[in-house]
Amino acid sequence: MAVVELCNIVKSYDGEKVLRDLSFQTIDGEFFVLLGPSGAGKTTTLKVIAGLEDIDSGEVLFDGKPMNTVPTNQRPVGMTFESYALYPHFTVFENLANSLRAPGKKHPESEIRERVTNVAKMLKIDHLLDRHPGELSGGQKQRASLGRTMVREPSIYLLDEPLTHVDAKIRFELRLQFHRLEELQQSTTIYVTHDYVEALSLGNRIAILDNGKIVQIGKPKEIYHEPCNLFVANLVGQPPINVLDAILETDPQGPALVIPKGEFRIPLSPKNYQSLQQVNAPSELKVGIRPRDIDIVHGPDQAMVKARSDVFEPFGSLGLLSVMVNDIYLELLVDPDMSFEPDNLLGLNFREDRLLFFDPETEINLLSNEG
């Protein structure tokens, strides 16, 4: 295992910065996920750790030891690429064995064969060792690419979008394997993805990367329930979080959020109201509510909000319902066995304890510890 630390990394291409004062530190042996949209700098970060890219400034350390001048082949890392990077004229066995036969390596052939065979069995591709990459499915190619990294037995695994090109079923199976693989559990893994499901499923901790900078680092539940800003809240969750323009008011009925465009109000608990007062929240806010935190209630007259059903789409274990509240569209996650006709009158309640409050100018989560 190893601790990877990046300190104030700056990296530019043609004068344009792609990593901007990037800093983070892993915990020894953890599965650390870098999550962000395309172009955020995720792959560049892995290449910097691996020594495949020079940096403008900053420092890369493994267990406290500077790595900036250490060549790639002398760093204890193994990297799996999004594109598989398998040699098409090599068999699967030869692809896996190749890194053990590189110049400077002195592994006897008996050891190479044993390590390749053991890793192939672990990844369930031992029956494919005589095939060429062109004869493999996407999932098999991904296993072979991972196996080529694993035979090196590195202290640090760098996995770059390893599940992007496989179908949903294979993606699920491979995620399970990542949890089970003893080699990954005994090493530090840095995993890059743009898929929040992978991040929440796999990560001990998740770092959100945007425009070359770390926005937030936290455990999966922290990232999901306590996003530091609106960017993170929108990135993590599907369908996306509902965002409402609101006005914070008090009246004889108590504190509430008034939603002018929807012509309804959401009563606030004393706890939330006091918390907003303590951070000097502006009277105009952006309020976020996730689709799973809006409930349909019997009797629209007893609900916080009256809405009209619009489009209902069942997706296996969940249903996605779009509703209209005056000029506002809201997305809800519901029981897929429910039935909704267009323009049905519905009553909605919001889980007030799950509301997120964002500054309309900075889009920072006003009640986040990182806000």
Contacts of 95 (CB under 8 A, 6+ apart): 86, 87, 133, 144, 148
For 109-166, write each residue's pLDDT tens digit: 999 999 999 889 888 899 999 999 999 988 888 889 888 888 888 889 999 988 776 6
CATH of the domain at 147: 3.40.50.300
pLDDT attached to residue 165: 67
CATH of the domain at 280: 2.40.50.140
pLDDT attached to residue 273: 94
- What six digits make up the tokens of 162? 């390893």
| 317 located within any domain | yes
Q: How many CB atoms lie within 10 A of CB 254?
A: 12
- The strand ranges marked E within the chain are 4-13, 16-25, 31-35, 57-62, 65-66, 77-80, 156-160, 188-193, 205-210, 213-218, 242-251, 254-259, 264-267, 284-289, 294-297, 305-315, 318-325, 328-334, 345-350, 356-358
Residue 145 shares a structural domain with residue 215: yes
Residue 299 shares a structural domain with residue 205: no
pLDDT attached to residue 101: 84
The amino acid occupying position 220 is P
Structural domain boundaries, residue 221: 4-235
**Domain final residue, candidates 235, 251, 274:** 235
| 296 located within any domain | yes
**Domain final residue, candidates 177, 209, 235:** 235
Q: Residue 158's beta-bridge partner residues? A: 79, 190
pTM of the model: 0.87
For 292-344, write each residue's pLDDT tens digit: 999 998 877 888 899 999 999 988 888 999 999 998 999 999 998 888 889 99
Q: How many domains does the chain have?
A: 2
- What order do you get walking across the sheet with 305-315 strand by strand? 294-297, 345-350, 305-315, 318-325, 328-334
Residue 81 shares a structural domain with residue 27: yes
pLDDT attached to residue 371: 46
Distance of alpha carbon 211 from alpha carbon 17, whole angstroms: 9
CA-wise closest residue to 86 among 68, 70, 98, 104: 98
Residue 85 shares a structural domain with residue 190: yes
Distance of alpha carbon 42 from alpha carbon 22, whole angstroms: 11
Residue 185 shares a structural domain with residue 269: no
Give the chain's residues under pLDDT 70.
1, 104, 165-166, 182-183, 185, 370-371
